[in-house]
Structure 1
Amino acid sequence: MSQPLSNIDKNEFNHVKQAYYNIYAFVKSYYEDNNSYKACIDKWGEQLHIPDNALEERENIDFKKPSDKLYALEEIYDIVYMIYLDGVVEDVELSLTIKFAEKLGFEKHVVGDLLKAIVTAPYDGIPKEEVRNELTTYLKQILEE
């Protein structure tokens, strides 16, 4: 069951939007000719109700690999959360997000792990805020491996 965009708070929306801009810049930098990735980015922009003037502004944004691993993982989380919002997880969305995660220095299983945590949280009675807070613990486990 997806969570409507109207149910996320402004802070959460801003996190997701910032991650969206960075993955957009990632596609623009590395996958300019991949029409399925470009269509995925366009779908996400529509899903986030990004206004046309902001779509023009995104053209001037360059991809930035976060130097902080926690911030990088939060960006991946935000993209995975955005995938989950419409209740339809497409292969192209996962493929793009895996490539993004790998570029940020994570193994591809991180995307699946985050998706599983997000999808199962409501059924396990875990508030979405707690899922985000568990990123710190998750990152420490990854860095210790």
Structure 2
Amino acid sequence: MEHIISIGERKGMRAQDVRALLANSTSVKHAMPNNDLDRFDQVYDLVEMMLADGIVDDSEMDFCLDIATKMGFRKAVVGVLIKKITTGVKDGLTREEIKEEAIQFLEIQ
């Protein structure tokens, strides 16, 4: 929960607003991002949540792969993108360093 709240705060939300949003999540309409940078940011947030407990479960990985594909990333690059984010986070790289590398990868695909 703390990690989800920190993501909300990065996006300009207050903690109580994040909690209220989660409590009423079935009534919220989600708009898919319309560019690679926004898509990357959302996939990055998903991967961070997947890694939050230090255990990467197959169902969590499948969920990240599925969401990234639904956001518009090609299936051929989704696995590599998630691996790059996962490895970068584990190696202590900043979000911007990981994003730069991932965007370069996406541009050459």
Conserved 8 A contact 1:77-1:114:
yes
Question: Displacement of 1:65 after TM fit?
Answer: 1.7
Name the CA distance, whole Å, in 1 between partners of 2:104 and 2:66.
Answer: 22
Question: Displacement of 1:137 after TM fit?
Answer: 3.9
Match of residue 97 from structure 1: 64
Where does structure 1 lack aligned partners over 5 or more consecutive residues?
Answer: 19-49
Corresponding position: 1:111 with 2:82: yes
Where does structure 2 lack aligned partners over 5 or more consecutive residues?
Answer: 13-17
RMSD, aligned α-carbons: 2.6
Match of residue 39 from structure 2: 72
Name the CA distance, whole Å, in 2 between partners of 1:72 and 1:15.
Answer: 18
Q: Structure 1 residues 80 and 74, CA, compared in 2 at 3 Å: closer, same or farther?
A: same
Name the CA distance, whole Å, in 2 between partners of 1:54 and 1:104.
Answer: 21
Q: Select 2:96's aligned residue among 108, 127, 133.
A: 133
Identity %: 20
After TM superposition, the score normalised by the length of structure 2 is 0.72
Match of residue 23 from structure 1: none
Corresponding position: 1:56 with 2:23: yes
After TM superposition, the score normalised by the length of structure 1 is 0.56
Question: Displacement of 1:15 after TM fit?
Answer: 6.3
Conserved 8 A contact 2:65-2:82:
yes
Conserved 8 A contact 2:47-2:82:
yes
Name the CA distance, whole Å, in 2 between partners of 1:138 and 1:55.
Answer: 29
SS of the residue 2:24 aligns to:
helix
Report how many aligned residue pairs link the two structures: 97
Q: Structure 1 residues 15 and 111, CA, compared in 2 at 3 Å: closer, same or farther?
A: farther
Conserved 8 A contact 2:69-2:78:
yes
Match of residue 41 from structure 1: none
